[in-house]
Structures are given as C-alpha cells and as structure tokens.
Amino acid sequence: MDGPATERVFGLSAEGVRAARNRDPAARECPDAGRSDSARQQGDWASEALGAVLDRVAVSHAEVGARFPLFADPDTGRWTTTGRGSWVGGFWAGLLWLRARHTGDERDRATAAECTARLAPWAEADTATRGLILWYGTALADNDPGADALRARAARACLRDYEPRIGLVPWGAALGGPRLLARADGVPGTVRLLATENPTAAASHLHTHLALCVRGADGPRPAWQWDAATGWQPCEDPPADWARGRAWLLLALADALLTSSADLRTQQAYEALELLLPRPGDPLVPPAHADHGDGPLDTSAAAITAVALWKLALLRDGRSGSYTERAVQTLRRLVSAHLADGRLLDGCYDAGRGTAVRHQLVWGDFFLAFGLAALTGLLDLTAV
C-alpha cells in the first residue's frame, strides 16, 4: 500500500505541494517554487526525480497487483483501478518497462512483460485508443517478442478498422458512446501503429484529425462526430479549450514529423504545428481548460507537451534550442512544484464532471518519467 502523504522521497511532500500552491498562486508558475536553494543545487535533479517516480512505480505495483491504476487520491495516494486497463493501461505497462530499464533487474522485466501481455484483448477492440494502449504499452519493451507481436497485431487491427470514406480510424464503440467520432486522443500512437502497416492510411488519419481538430470550420475542436447526411459535426464534449487535447495532437504531430514518410511530413502538418506550439507567455503548466484560468491545472498536459517538444527538437529546424529549453523548464517545474513522494500531483482527469481534478494520473506519471528518461539518456526518443 502507498505510504502516508507526508512521506518524503524527492522534492516536496504532498502537504508541501498544497501549501506552496495555496500560499502563493504565482508559485504554480514560478521556477523551482517552494524549494530551497540547497535542494535545487543537490546533484542531478532529473536523475533523482526519475528515480523517485520509478521507485514509486514499485510501491504502486505492490498495491494494485493485477489491476491497472487510473488515478490516485492526492492526499492518501490510494489508486482507483480498472481490471482491463481501459485507455490508460499502456501507460502503466510503459512505466513498468521504464522501471525495468532503470533497474536492469530481470524480475522487473518479467513484471513489465506480464502486464503488457494482459493488454492483448485491446488489440482487436473497436477503439482508436489502441494507439495509447498498445503503442506506449509495447514500444519501451526491449527485445521482448511478446510485446513486438502484440504491437504488430494492433497495427494490423488499426488498418483493418481504417475507414477510407471518412479518412481515419474512428473512435470506436469499445469505450461507449457514438462510434463514428474523431477525437484528439485517438491520434497519438495510432499514427505510429498505422505507419508500420500503411503510411498512406497513417497520413490520412493524422491529416483528417488535424483538419478537424486544429483548423475546423468552427475553430479548433478536439472532438467531432460523423453524420452521413451532414458530414462532420463538432461535439460539445470535450470542450474547445481542453488543454490535454492540444497536447495529444502536438505529440502525434511531433511523431509524424520525425518519420521518414513524405506522406506524413506535409505542408499541412507544418502549418498545424505552428498553431499547436505553446505561445510566448503560455504557462508551463496549463489550466485543464484554457478559458477557465482559475480552475484546476493539468500537469499531465504539461508532461505530454514536454515530451512532444523534446521530439520536435530533433527536427533541427532552427528552433531546437527553444523547444529543448521549454521542455526542460516544464519538466523542472513539474518536479519542483508538483512532484510529491514520486507522484505527479495536480493532474485533472475530467474537470467538467469534477472527477479527479488535482490527482496523480497514471499517464501524467508516464510522460513525466518519459521526459526525464530522455533528459538523462535512459531512452532514445526516436524509438518510442
């Protein structure tokens, strides 16, 4: 079970994070907020933070067992879990693979491989979130034939479900609701899977989403529904100002621009990049909804964005330095002001429904660990 929230592993305790946030709202956007000079100067902050996050993964694994963590209470650290993993299962498997890389322990590799194997039912599930589940749940597996086979199986299933008439793999019915949706969170990972089978289908999936979600007729919208009579119609939920939707699209676009496929590296893609990049003055850790600046933050959106910027820095397009600088600033902000006991707090699952609005989110932990692993040289960004 997770220890008390006041247990200190790295950075602030959970109480310290809340105190800094409540004492000074500006601390949410001030570098190294709430930390002493001596704490800032100790050793390699990124390595220590990564170690804390991955140590916490072991604690969480002992708690959740064969279930998949979804989000954890910021005070108690107690996880809300799911039996099959839902759309987040791949991030838990990814964290276990990162821990295995970090420790080099064969027992950790076995744990990660077993978790990845439990994601197999999602390969044929009717959902575009196969990209989130089965790209990120397998791509970090080193020399694991089971993970490689599962990733290939998922890629074939994505191509099977690709619908040329609407230009994408639809959101699907596996998670409930209408099937013929285009959503921002159905793009990352899915483009990577499709590209291994059919780069043309991958490009269509990406560009259709960019045309709708970034440059739609009604302005940027993260979700659209197909109607046979009227075509694509914008959805009200998630709303247009959803920060994580923007981050998901930026991540998918960074992956696409790093490929060697001319089908993916298009003028449309580069134009969308200019619209999705953080603007000068944008907060490093955004509110969950941009039009509600006094609402909850979403540290998971910040972590996803940091990873996307790390990847974009590899383009060497003359802005690599600025991409890298903001990525490092974001990671350092997350570590200094929002990391408690190896848990990334202040993630927002669903602000509209009031669900887990200042919590530890499993995908937030994953992308923070991913970014720190890239910064410390534990992984090759081009491979994941």
User: Residues 247-297: pLDDT tens digits?
Assistant: 999 999 999 999 988 999 999 999 999 999 999 899 999 999 998 888 999
The percentage of residues in the chain with a pLDDT greater than 90, rounded to a whole number, is 83
Residue 360 has pLDDT above 90, yes or no: yes
Residue 32 near residue 332 (C-beta atoms within 8 A): yes
The H or E element spanning position 224 is strand 223-227
Residue 333: exposure state from Cβ atoms within 10 A (0-12, 13-18, ≥19): buried
Under the banding of pLDDT at 50, 70 and 90, the label for residue 383 is confident
Residue 196 near residue 232 (C-beta atoms within 8 A): no
Under the banding of pLDDT at 50, 70 and 90, the label for residue 217 is low
d(CA 348, CA 239): 14
String of DSSP letters for 136-202? TTTTT-SS-HHHHHHHHHHHHHHHHH-BTTTTB----STTSS-SSEEEGGGSTTHHHHHHHH-HHHH
SS3 assignment, position 12: strand
Residue 13 has pLDDT above 90, yes or no: no
Q: At what angle do helices 89-103 and 362-376 cross, to 10 degrees?
A: 30
Q: At what angle do helices 199-209 and 190-197 cross, to 10 degrees?
A: 150
Question: What is the pLDDT, as a whole number, of residue 317?
Answer: 87
Question: What is the pLDDT, as a whole number, of residue 62?
Answer: 98
| Size (the chain), residues | 384
Question: What is the pLDDT, as a whole number, of residue 20?
Answer: 38
User: Residues 166-212: pLDDT tens digits?
Assistant: 999 999 999 999 999 999 999 999 999 999 999 999 999 999 999 99
Taking CB atoms within 8 Å and a gap of at least 24, the contacts of 226-232 are 226/166, 226/170, 226/180, 226/181, 226/182, 232/182
Residue 212 near residue 222 (C-beta atoms within 8 A): no
Percent of residues in the chain assigned helix, strand, coil, to nearest 5: 55, 10, 35
Question: What is the pLDDT, as a whole number, of residue 42?
Answer: 33
Residue 123 near residue 153 (C-beta atoms within 8 A): yes
- Give the mean pLDDT of 71-94: 98
Which residues, in sequence order, are bridge partners of residue 226?
232
User: Residues 297-333: pLDDT tens digits?
Assistant: 999 999 999 999 999 999 988 999 999 999 999 999 9
Tokens representing 28 are 């949410």
- Give the mean pLDDT of 115-143: 97
Residue 341 has pLDDT above 70, yes or no: yes
∠ CA 327-329-334, rounded to 5°? 95
d(CA 347, CA 361): 6
- Give the mean pLDDT of 229-249: 96
The gap between the terminal CA atoms of the chain, to the nearest Å, is: 31
Question: What is the pLDDT, as a whole number, of residue 218?
Answer: 66
Residue 112 has pLDDT above 50, yes or no: yes
pTM, 2 dp: 0.90
Residue 239 has pLDDT above 70, yes or no: yes
Question: What is the pLDDT, as a whole number, of residue 292?
Answer: 86
